[in-house]
Structure formats: C-alpha cells, structure tokens
Amino acid sequence: MLRRVMLAICVMLCFAANCLAAGSDIAWNHIDLASSRTWVIIADVTSDDAAGTASEAIAATDFHPGYLMGVETKPDSGGTAPDNNYTVTVASAQGSALLGGACTGNQGNAASEFSLPLDPDGLGYCPFVNAPPTVATASMGNSNGTTIYLYIRY
C-alpha cells in the first residue's frame, strides 16, 4: 500500500513539474497612489515558449474598480526583450476590448511606451472597469518579457 501511495505522489510531482516547466507567466502586483486616487496594476509578463503569447486575468487582490486611464509597457532588455511590434490587449471580465486597439501590433522592443485607450473613432477615452480584466500579449517571441502597467483612477 505504501508503495502505491509513493508511486502516486511521484507521478503527481512529475506531472506538476511538466506543467510548470513550460508556458507563459504573468506575475501581478500593485501600487496605490492614494494622493492622486490612482491604482497602478503591474504585470510582469513572460511569453509562452512556442507561441510568444501570455494571457491571464488580473488577480483580485491587485485590482481596484475605476477608470482605465492608460497602459504603459516597459520591455525587458538584452536577450529577453520581446520581438518588435508585439501586441498588448486588455479585455473586461465580460470580454470587451478596453484598449480599442491602442497597443495592437505596435509596441516597441527597446523603449517604454504609454498608450491611451481608444474609442471606435480613434479618440482617447477612459472606460470604467468594474471587475478584474484579462491582460494578454501576442507576437512577443520565445520566452521574452515585458512589464505592463495599467493606470486606474478611482
């Protein structure tokens, strides 16, 4: 019986190690700039090995409802810099695009960039976000990274 239990534990550990060894990763954090009523959500993103993508909903502990004022991207440097012209999307909990294409296929791989959400007419606007949205990246390349800052005014 003990052998079966040990075997089952080994199989589970091997399976878990394989699941954690590959794929994308997004680590969440936040800063509350209370004096300006701004909540900054920080996403440290590492792209998927094969597809160059990452996608994850913001952790509830790092979210505060409010108006999405802007998005800043800061690409990693050196060998882990994302491919040039990568894409960042932010979708509401209901699946609506919150950036209006503001960061689609145009994020640089060398310098930080700040983008305003765009309405359908291409004008800046600030959508209200009432639940943790999903942040996704595409076309970043193999295991590359960037830091994404979401500025939410509450």
Of 131, 87, 125, the C-alpha closest to 108 is: 87
Residue 53 lies in a domain: yes
Task: Give the distance, in angstroms, between the CA of residue 33 and the centroid of all CA atoms in the same chain.
Answer: 20
- Answer yes or no: is pLDDT of 74 > 90: yes
46 burial (CB, 10 Å; 0-12 / 13-18 / 19+) is buried
Identify whether 9 is part of a domain: no
pLDDT in tens, 80-129: 999 999 999 999 999 999 998 899 889 999 999 999 998 877 788 899 99
User: What pLDDT does 23 receive?
Assistant: 62
For the record, the structure tokens of 5 come out as 């239990």
Distance CA 18, CA 95 (A): 30
Which tens digit of pLDDT belongs to each residue from 17-43?
A: 333 334 678 889 999 988 889 999 999
Cα torsion angle, 71, 113, 76, 82, sign: positive
Q: Report yes or no on 52 lying in a domain.
A: yes
Any residues with CB less than 8 A from the CB of 24 and at least 6 apart, and which? 45, 46, 47, 48, 53, 54, 55, 56
What's this model's pTM, rounded to 2 decimal places?
0.80
Res. 11: pLDDT tops 90: no
H/E segment holding residue 15: helix 2-21
Q: How many domains does the chain have?
A: 1
1 in a structural domain: no
**Does some domain include residue 48?**
yes
| Domain extent at residue 59 | 25-153
Whose CA is closest to 83, among 57, 116, 106, 109? Answer: 109
pLDDT surpasses 50 at 8:
no
| Residue 13 falls inside a structural domain | no
CATH of the domain at 124: 2.60.120
Asked whether residue 98 is domain-assigned, the answer is: yes
| pLDDT, mean over the chain | 84
7 in a structural domain: no
